[in-house]
Amino acid sequence: MTEAQSQETFYEAIGGRATIELIVDVFYQGVAQDEVLKPMYPEEDLGPAAERLTMFLEQYWGGPNAYSVQRGHPRLRMRHANFVVNTDARDRWLKHFRAGLDAARLEPELDAQFWAYVQHAANFMINSQD
């Protein structure tokens, strides 16, 4: 086995799909109760949105590429352009995502890497001034 073959992906290191599902499930439990974020999700049932986020995160972190196969390029800003994403929305989104990461209880260095990406992504999505 070569060194490249033996290197574990971030996806594998955090526990794969089961860990991402836990993070996403806790995140959407918070979103479902959030008066600012919930209206951004057209489906009454947040299940389809949770599956899309799960697939996106899986692919981003080195797991299966089902997101691209089913949905193409993520185009995150475009997909959210119809919604006001200001610093309040960002902060609420981060609060719920932080709860998901806390529930997953990742190793500190893995948590820090995941959290850094999430913060960067949340800031990137801002499309409106307060």
Where do the domains of the chain lie, and which CATH numbers do they carry? 10-124 (1.10.490.10)
Predicted local distance difference test score (pLDDT) of residue 42: 74
Task: Please calculate the CA angle 127-53-43 and round it to the nearest 5 degrees.
Answer: 80
DSSP 106: -
Predicted local distance difference test score (pLDDT) of residue 37: 92
- Count of C-beta atoms within a 10 Å radius of residue 75: 10
CB 92 within 8 A of CB 100: no
Q: What does each C-alpha distance from 16 to 42, 65, 76, 79, 126 come to in angstroms?
A: 28, 13, 22, 26, 29
pLDDT, tens digit, 9 for 90 and up, residues 66-123: 877 666 555 554 455 566 689 999 999 999 999 999 999 999 999 999 999 999 999 9
What is the average per-residue pLDDT within 45-65? 91
3-state SS assignment for residue 80: coil
Q: Give the whole-angstrom CA distance, residue 92 versus residue 95.
A: 5
| Residue appearing with tokens 């609420």 | 92
- CA-based nearest residue to 15, from 52, 56, 62, 67: 62
- Side-chain half-sphere of 81: how many Cα atoms within 13 Å? 4
Locate 78 and state its tokens. 């475009």
pTM: 0.85
What is the average per-residue pLDDT within 6-16? 93
